[in-house]
Each structure stands twice: as C-alpha cells, then as structure tokens.
C-alpha cells in the first residue's frame, strides 16, 4: 500500500492576521501560491506517494497547512487545539474529514493546547514533541498517552521557530537536521542521544525553512534558498529538490507545514 499524505489546495489562502513573527501583512500573490502548491503536489506524487485532498474553507486561510490538523497514528487522530482563535475553526473541518473516512478521532480538553504534526514526529515508536509556543507540555503528554507512544518532549525557545517542524527534520532512523538555536540545552541533549548523525543548520539555512522539508526514503523536497545544508545532504546520498514557497513563507509556513502523512 502506498504511503499517503493529506494536502489542502490553497483556494482561500491569504495572510489576513498575524499570529507568528513571519506574518508581516505582506500581500499574497494567489496565482503564485497555487503554482507553488501544485509543484509540491506533483513532486510528491512522482515519488509514488498517494495524495488525498481536503477542501479549504473560505474563512480559514491557514487550513492549507494540513500538518497542523492533528497527529495521526494508524487509525487514530489526536485533533489539534489551536493556540490562536483565528485557526480554531480548522479543528472541526479536519475532524469531519477524518471521521467520514473511518478514523477514530480524539479531542483534548479545550484549555490544553496542541498543534498536531506541527509539533510532533512519530519516530521509532516514540513521539518527539516540541512545546512552549503553540503546544503545551500537557498537550503533548496527553496526546502521547492516548496514542500509547513514548514521549520525548523538546522545549522550544525561539519565537521565530514556534513549531517543531520549523527547526527539526528527521531524515532516517538515525539521521536528522536541526537548528540548535531553536531549542533549550536540555532539548539538544535529548536530540543528540536519539540521532547518531545530526546535521546542524546555521541561522541562514534555518530561517529559509530548510527543516520544513518533506522527506520520503532518500528524497527530500526542500524550500528554495538553503545552500550550506545541501552539501551535507549530498554527502549522505540524499536527492534534494528545492521548490520556491515564497507565498507560504509570508504566513510562516512551507512544504512540511502543508503535508500531513496519514
């Protein structure tokens, strides 16, 4: 069975509010946004990955970032409780999509913040989870308990890297890339214990969202711009394709933000 990702066409994508440091009210070129999203979708399909689509609701401009819908393990989904009210309507929209397809959906108490795969990665039976900005420690603990996975909590400390997927990317069982400046010292120690081969990004590659890449086997789809990390990835045999995601970066997101593995 082919692996599957959930994508949301950017029919109503826009930047109409500011909930992270990247959202500076820049005007979105909607035609360019659609073209960039289509390139991403085509590249993923060319890998042999199956794509499922959810229709974007008009009043939810950030719904295109499907990674934030929840955390999926098998047939169970922990739905997100968004930190900001501007995105809270996404939860019901995504829950309806999953429920109609037979998934077992779970909601956390409303006062506990949790933003799905924006902050979580299921890796070797463990849940690596960022917390401190969008997800709370209580949120990732409850999600891990419901999904019966061991939790590795990683505290984030830089507001520009408010989600785990903006500063950390698993490449294989024992290889990952990350930006140390986004994590507390204790979180860095945990990461170093888990991965024998760690690629440390400099601030230039990190702020061009190198970690917000989509990875499948030895193939990587990366936002355009990062340069230094390309040499490290080439040495390790990864095939990297860069795609311009300028319009989505205006909202503080890129490729992995728009991709939910289900």
pLDDT digits (tens, 9 = 90+) for 68-96: 999 999 999 999 999 999 999 999 999 99
Q: Note if 163 is an active site residue.
A: yes
- Give me the residue spans of the domains in the chain: 4-261
Task: Give yes or no for residue 1 having a pLDDT over 70.
Answer: no
pLDDT at position 25 is 83
Is 8 labeled as catalytic in the residue annotation?
no
- Stronger pLDDT, 13 or 25, i.e. the higher one: 13
- Neighbouring residues of 193: CB distance < 8 A, sequence distance ≥ 6: none
* 35/174 Cα distance (integer angstroms): 34
Report domain 4-261's class: alpha beta
The percentage of the chain sitting over the pLDDT mark of 90, rounded to a whole number, equals 98
How far is residue 92's CA from residue 257's CA, in Å, rounded to a whole number?
Answer: 19
Per-residue DSSP letters for 152-193? EEEEB--TTS-SGGGTEEE-SSSEEEE-GGGB-HHHHHHHHH
Q: What is the pLDDT of residue 213?
A: 98
Q: Which residue is catalytic, options 8, 167, 211, 257? A: 257
Helix (H) or strand (E) holding 79: strand 76-79
Q: Which residues contact 65 (CB under 8 A, 6 or more apart)?
A: 8, 118, 251, 253, 257, 258
Cα gap 164→192, rounded to integer Å: 16
Instruction: Report the pLDDT value the prediction gives residue 2, as an integer from 0 to 100.
Output: 75
For residue range 33-64, what is the model confidence (pLDDT) as tens digits? 999 999 999 999 999 999 999 999 999 999 99
186 vs 261: CA distance, rounded Å? 28
Does the pLDDT of residue 244 top 90, yes or no? yes
On average, the pLDDT of the chain sits at 97
Please write the tens of the pLDDT for every residue from 148-184.
Answer: 999 999 999 999 999 999 999 999 999 999 999 999 9
Residue 124: both structure tokens together: 């070797």
Using pLDDT thresholds of 50, 70 and 90, give the confidence band for residue 126: very high
Among candidate residues 8, 12, 158, 163, the one labeled active-site is 163
Residues near 162 by beta carbon (within 8 Å), at least 6 away in sequence = 20, 21, 133, 134, 156, 252
* Encoded tokens for 218: 């030895």
């Amino acid at each position: 069975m082919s692996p599957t990702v959930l994508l949301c066409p950017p029919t109503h994508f826009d930047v109409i509010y500011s909930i992270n440091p990247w959202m500076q009210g820049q005007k979105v070129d909607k035609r360019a946004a659609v073209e960039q999203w289509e390139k991403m979708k085509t590249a993923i399909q060319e890998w042999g990955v199956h794509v499922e689509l959810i229709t974007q609701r008009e009043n939810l401009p950030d719904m295109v970032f499907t990674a934030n819908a929840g955390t999926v393990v098998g047939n169970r989904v922990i739905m997100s409780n968004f930190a900001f009210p501007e995105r809270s309507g996404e939860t019901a929209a995504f829950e309806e999509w999953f429920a109609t397809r037979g998934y077992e959906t779970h909601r956390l108490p409303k006062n506990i913040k949790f933003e799905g795969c924006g902050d979580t990665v299921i890796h070797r039976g463990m849940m690596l989870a960022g917390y401190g900005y969008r997800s709370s420690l209580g949120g990732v603990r409850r999600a891990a308990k419901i999904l019966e996975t061991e939790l590795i909590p990683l505290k984030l400390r830089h507001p520009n890297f408010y989600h785990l997927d903006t500063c950390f990317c698993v490449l294989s069982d024992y290889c990952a890339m990350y930006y140390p400046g986004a994590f507390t010292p204790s979180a860095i120690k945990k990461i170093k214990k888990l991965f024998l081969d760690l690629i440390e990004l400099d601030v230039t590659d990190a702020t061009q969202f190198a970690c917000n890449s989509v990875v499948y086997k030895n193939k990587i789809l990366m936002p355009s711009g990062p340069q230094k990390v390309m040499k490290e990835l080439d040495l390790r045999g990864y095939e990297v394709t860069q795609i311009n995601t300028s319009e989505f970066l205006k909202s503080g997101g890129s490729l992995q933000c728009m991709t939910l593995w289900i």
